[in-house]
Amino acid sequence: YQLNYISLCLCIYRLNFLMIVHFAVLVTLYSFAVYFLYESINSSEGKSHPDLQSNFCSFQPYSVALGEAVEERRLLDSVTWPETPLIPVNFTLKQTSDPAHSTFTILPGGGEWRVGDHLKVIIQVKDFEGHPKTSGGDFIVARLHNPKLGAGVAGQVLDHVNGSYSAVFPLLWNGSAEVQVTLVHSSEAVTVLRRLSTEQPDRIHFKSLFRSGSESETTTCNICLRPNNQPICNYTDLRTGEPWFCFKPKNLNCHTRINHSKGGYKENLRKNEKELFQSHVNLKVSIQAVGSTSVLVLPKKEGNNEKKDSIVTPGPFGYYYQQVWQALGGTPVRQFSSPSAITECLKGKVIHLYGDSTIRQWFDHLREALPDLKEFDLHSSKQSGPFMTLDYPNNIMVTYRCHGPPIRFGDVPTSQLRYIANELDDVVGGSNTVVVIGIWSHFSTFPIDIYIRRLQTIRRAVIGLLDRAPGTLVIIRTANLKQLTLYETLTNSDWYSLQRDKVLRAIFKGISVHLVDAWEMVLAHHLPHNLHPQPPIIKNMINVVLSYICPK
Ligand SMILES: *[C@@H]1O[C@H](CO)[C@@H](O)[C@H](O)[C@H]1NC(C)=O
Ligand SMILES: *[C@@H]1O[C@H](CO)[C@@H](O)[C@H](O)[C@H]1NC(C)=O
Ligand SMILES: *[C@@H]1O[C@H](CO)[C@@H](O)[C@H](O)[C@H]1NC(C)=O
Ligand SMILES: *[C@@H]1O[C@H](CO)[C@@H](O)[C@H](O)[C@H]1NC(C)=O
Ligand SMILES: *[C@@H]1O[C@H](CO)[C@@H](O)[C@H](O)[C@H]1NC(C)=O
């Protein structure tokens, strides 16, 4: 049906009909596309979420090229999560997933374990009454580690959609390897998180101060404002089409907006739902083993050193050994252990960092690691920047700029609200230029199509940059796991991050950019999950970045 519209559309175009007709058909086409998109989401999730109606934050892909709208559909399919249980209003925890009753079991291998083999673990999720679950959708992560060796690797978890899961790990080091399995969220908790995405995309809101002369007023802003008959100011970016709105101040016009900041958070859980998000109960809690939690891995058999390496794809990107991150395939990770080694690598380069606070951490790390890299005081706010550091003798410049709204920073002047795509359009580029992008955590509360849309505009700009200046190096930081409380979960759960992470990898697949796999680097490490990973992890990330800039 839609295809007919497309061909009709193309046909009319070829016949050189009135542009107005073309436009009208396009608009109709989009309305249908959007309608079908949401209809199909509603109908596929409708069973578990009978209350999924208030799509007031549905996205208007009016300026998205047709190819991208189709891609969006594909991306949405690629992050489909198994159906999760319906939770009645008066539900109790009894029949929900309980990590304390759940178990994992290491499957017997061929008698002995050797480096290069794979270890498989079966996880059975049970409820608080000890009954095995019969549906999937629990969010489980797994790692294999050896604290003495400073070794760790992320496992690949597969949902069998019947209450059982498996996790697979490559065996990468000689010695003991211990399995750790963690239930991040029960499938019932995922039901709630999903519902919040559609029903309460505005649970975090933003505000702006408007001022002119002695008059000032603060109003609420967001990607989507609940319609309430109040006039709005439309700050949709004309170049990227990124939407942004504020309620119009009563006595001031829309041009008088001075700054932007996080407004607040509205928790609106239903009765009992909080119980699904309890630390030490069902929020990021370890699952115990039946039998042994570890295996002894022997070195590879003599004369069996090559080829046997049947690392499953998609396997992990890397692993820690002696606290040092090693790549599995791709660019080998070098160790830049002294300021002079880093300076040598960055000599003559401009490094632009764009994104959220997890990218700002990299800026801070470089500034602290290099005594000759001096901050030039731009009098910016500590949180949002922009920042610039310079090393004159070595001709190094490192800059940081935060991404455009939605951004939950404290105080960003309106003049400094910039979209990464637009910034990239202003970069000359070339072999002395490195662009680093990290954008994920401020999008968790919104429907995923908003994130997809953002990445598509960034990708368009990256492709443009690489076309006009092919020597430019583009590095992208993925999302990572973090510490979760109830508040952190509802606003920024790892489950939201995982969806976004999958989308990010898919969108930049096939584009000549380098990834820093922050997800695995945090999951595989022994330090606790943290939105802002601790220095040993950051140091490893920076080594990956520098290895891309200065490969062996
Ligand atoms: C929940 O409410 C339904 C309908 O009001 C009732 O039939 C059911 O027994 C209640 N369940 C519990 C666990 O209270
Ligand atoms: C669940 O599915 C897996 C994979 O299909 C299967 O091996 C396992 O036996 C199933 N478990 C149950 C309890 O049905
Ligand atoms: C493997 O580890 C054992 C001790 O755990 C050690 O004796 C042996 O030399 C190691 N082999 C290799 C090849 O590293
Ligand atoms: C906001 O502005 C954009 C760009 O001018 C326009 O396409 C869009 O329809 C406007 N949205 C609303 C709700 O007015
Ligand atoms: C916005 O700007 C005003 C005036 O410069 C300042 O007082 C205020 O702290 C800023 N931040 C917010 C969140 O209003």
Report whether pLDDT(254) > 90: yes
**Distance from residue 128's CA to the centre of ligand 4 (Å):** 50
Report whether pLDDT(106) > 70: yes
* pLDDT level of residue 420 (50, 70, 90 thresholds): very high
* pLDDT level of residue 315 (50, 70, 90 thresholds): confident
174 lines ligand 3 (CB under 6 A): yes
Cβ-in-10-Å burial (0-12, 13-18, 19+) of 435 comes to buried
- Give the pLDDT confidence score for residue 152 in this predicted structure: 98
Mean pLDDT of 224-243: 94
* pLDDT level of residue 299 (50, 70, 90 thresholds): very high
* pLDDT level of residue 66 (50, 70, 90 thresholds): low
Q: Which long-range contacts (CB under 8 A, 24 or more apart) does 239-243 make?
A: 239/419, 239/421, 239/422, 239/425, 240/419, 240/421, 240/422, 240/457, 241/62, 241/63, 241/64, 241/453, 241/457, 242/404, 242/405, 242/419, 242/453, 242/454, 242/457, 243/59, 243/60
DSSP-derived letter for residue 381 is B
228 lines ligand 1 (CB under 6 A): no
CA 105 → CA 13, 102, 146, 441, distances in Å?
A: 61, 10, 18, 34
- Count the alpha carbons within 13 Å of 128 in the hemisphere toward its beta carbon: 12
- Give the pLDDT confidence score for residue 10 in this predicted structure: 41
Query: In 167-198, which positions are buried (b, 16+ CB within 10 angstroms) versus exposed (e)?
Result: bbbbbbbbebbbbbbbbbbbbbbbbbbbbbbb
* pLDDT level of residue 53 (50, 70, 90 thresholds): very low
Which pair of structure tokens corresponds to residue 423?
Answer: 């910034």
Report whether pLDDT(8) > 90: no
* pLDDT level of residue 383 (50, 70, 90 thresholds): very high
Rounded CA separation 172/524 (Å)? 13
90 lines ligand 1 (CB under 6 A): yes
Residue reference for tokens 């030039």: 376
- Give the pLDDT confidence score for residue 308 in this predicted structure: 44
Residue 201 near residue 224 (C-beta atoms within 8 A): yes
**Distance from residue 236's CA to the centre of ligand 4 (Å):** 6
Mean pLDDT of 56-64: 56
- Give the pLDDT confidence score for residue 77 in this predicted structure: 83
**Distance from residue 500's CA to the centre of ligand 4 (Å):** 26
Higher-confidence residue of 43 and 528: namely 528
- Give the pLDDT confidence score for residue 193 in this predicted structure: 97
Q: Is 424 helix (H, G, I), strand (E, B) or coil?
A: helix
Smallest-distance ligand from the CA of 410: 5
Query: In 108-135, which positions are buried (b, 16+ CB within 10 angstroms) versus exposed (e)?
Result: eeeeebbbbbebbbebbbbbbeeeebeb
DSSP-derived letter for residue 261 is E
* pLDDT level of residue 59 (50, 70, 90 thresholds): low
Mean pLDDT of 81-93: 92
Smallest-distance ligand from the CA of 208: 5
63 lines ligand 4 (CB under 6 A): no
Report whether pLDDT(389) > 80: yes
Mean pLDDT of 387-415: 97
- Give the pLDDT confidence score for residue 268 in this predicted structure: 87
* pLDDT level of residue 73 (50, 70, 90 thresholds): confident
- Give the pLDDT confidence score for residue 337 in this predicted structure: 94
Q: Tell me the one-letter amino acid at 262.
A: K
Ligand 3: which residue has its CA nearest to atom 5? Answer: 175
What's the pLDDT tens digit per position in 504-527? Answer: 999 999 999 999 999 999 999 999
- DSSP conformation letters of 140-159: EEEEEEETTTTEEEEPEEEE
Smallest-distance ligand from the CA of 87: 1
Q: For the chain, which domains are there?
A: 2-78 (no CATH), 86-203+266-330 (2.60.40.10), 204-265 (no CATH), 331-549 (3.40.50.1110)
- % of the chain residues with pLDDT over 70: 86
Rounded CA separation 142/403 (Å)? 31
Ligand 1: which residue has its CA nearest to atom 2? Answer: 90
* pLDDT level of residue 1 (50, 70, 90 thresholds): very low
Report whether pLDDT(40) > 80: no
Computed from CA positions of residues 509, 513, 514, 515, in that sequence, does the dihedral angle turn out positive or negative? negative
Q: Tell me the one-letter amino acid at 16.
A: N
94 lines ligand 1 (CB under 6 A): no
Residue reference for tokens 């999560």: 81
Report the run of H or E that residue 343 belongs to, with start and end.
Answer: helix 339-346
Smallest-distance ligand from the CA of 414: 5
Report whether pLDDT(60) > 70: no
Phi, psi (degrees; rounded to nearest 5) at 457:
-70, -35
Q: What is the mean pLDDT of the chain?
A: 89
Rounded CA separation 179/290 (Å)? 12
Residues in the ligand 2 pocket, defined by CB under 6 Å: 160, 162, 164
Rounded CA separation 54/196 (Å)? 11
Mean pLDDT of 259-278: 94
* pLDDT level of residue 203 (50, 70, 90 thresholds): very high
Rounded CA separation 456/448 (Å)? 12
The pairing of beta strand 285-289 with beta strand 97-106 = parallel
Report whether pLDDT(189) > 80: yes
Ligand 1: which atom is nearest the Cα of residue 90?
Answer: 1
Ligand 2: which residue has its CA nearest to atom 5? Answer: 160
Rounded CA separation 522/540 (Å)? 10
**Distance from residue 530's CA to the centre of ligand 4 (Å):** 38
Report whether pLDDT(90) > 90: no
How many secondary structure helices (H) and strands (E) does the chain include? 12, 25
**Distance from residue 174's CA to the centre of ligand 3 (Å):** 6
Cα 405–Cα 411–Cα 415 angle in degrees, nearest 5: 65
Mean pLDDT of 489-514: 96
Rounded CA separation 501/439 (Å)? 10
Ligand 1: which residue has its CA nearest to atom 14? Answer: 90
234 lines ligand 4 (CB under 6 A): yes
* pLDDT level of residue 301 (50, 70, 90 thresholds): confident
Least confident of 79-88, 92-101, 148-157, 472-481: 79-88
348 lines ligand 3 (CB under 6 A): no
Residue 284 near residue 99 (C-beta atoms within 8 A): no
Report whether pLDDT(284) > 90: yes
Higher-confidence residue of 449 and 148: namely 148
